Amino acid sequence: MIQPYDDTYFMKQALLEAQMAAEEGEVPVGAVVVCHGRILSRAHNETERLNDVTAHAEMLAITAATNVLGAKYLTGCTLYVTVEPCVMCAGAIGWSQLEAVVYGAPDAKRGFTRYAPEALHPKTIVRKGVLEAECADEMRRFFQGRR
């Protein structure tokens, strides 16, 4: 089967979400959940709007995707996120049994690979560095504007 969309395409979709977050004054992280080439959900950080520290893009995208599927597990699905997930999000990724996680920019301060590298489901595939420069630039622009 020909796959018309690839990691770059879906990461660009996550970047659009990150840009929406920045426009709303949220830390610019965006995520999409994809299953069989179809986007099931899109989300961006909403911690400020919802006054909820757990309202990370990944958490919101996972919840929305499970609602679309009507199931608690996301086997066969891939999460695309602009920044390496934190430990909390990695835990949710693990419990949801996502097949793959693709992220753009690493997060040296709060990323799961530093603090909880075993948090994901053992079968979850991790691909990193997709559109890394673009994802990192989005974060850099946001925080430079706040200083």
Q: Could you write out the three-class secondary structure of 43-108?
A: EECCHHHHCCCCCCHHHHHHHHHHHHHCCCCCCCEEEEEEECCEHHHHHHHHHHCCCEEEEEECCC
Which residues fall within 8 angstroms of residue 91, CB to CB, at 6 or more apart?
Answer: 116, 119
Which residues fall within 8 angstroms of residue 85, CB to CB, at 6 or more apart?
Answer: 56, 58, 93, 101, 103, 111, 112
φ/ψ of residue 63, rounded to 5: -60, -45
Q: Write down the residue that tokens 């919840």 correspond to.
A: 63
The residues that are catalytic are 58
- The encoded tokens of residue 125 equal 């595939």
3-state secondary structure of 125: strand
